[in-house]
Amino acid sequence: MVPNKFFLTCGSGRDKDSLISFGIALEDAGIGKYNLVPVSSIIPPECELISKEDGLKLLSPGQIVHCVLAENQSQEKELISAAVGVAFPEIQGEIGCIFEYTNIGEEESVVAKEAEKGACELLKKSFGIVAGRSLSIAKEARGENRIWTTVVAVAVFV
């Protein structure tokens, strides 16, 4: 099984229960109706980045879906964030990488840059492949006392 497409999405949720907060975050990201299976960070050669809208059209409720998931949760009054960065190879036909990054106290613009930088470094240091382009998606939310706040950033393979 080798995916040939993927899309990026993110979301946030709040609830008194941590698992429900996570579920709300997934629904906010548009992927709450799928059975997510976390995988590591490799983008297959020739795997195409598509829009979230086009990607969701290819999925069915209840489907098992592979993804790279960055998740952050808190029950405190603090800023939490999650991001995934994507690095595509400079030479077509090589693998790419996805890098998850989470933090407390950093805004989504900062974690987005860190995730993107991490994806490029992972590609170079692990596989000796130079990134030709990179991008990222991130989500931030401010937590509340005694209420679970969850943020997710996800690369979804289809």
- Return the residue matching tokens 């990134």: 131
Q: Could you give the 3-state DSSP secondary structure of residue 33?
A: coil
CATH for 75: 3.50.20.10
pTM over 0.85: yes
Phi, psi of 126 (to 5 degrees): -85, -35
Give per-10-residue mean pLDDT for the chain (158 aa): 96 98 98 97 96 98 98 97 98 96 96 98 97 98 95 98
* Residues known to be catalytic: 35, 40-41, 100
Structural domain containing residue 145:
5-157
The Cα–Cα gap between 7 and 53 comes to 9
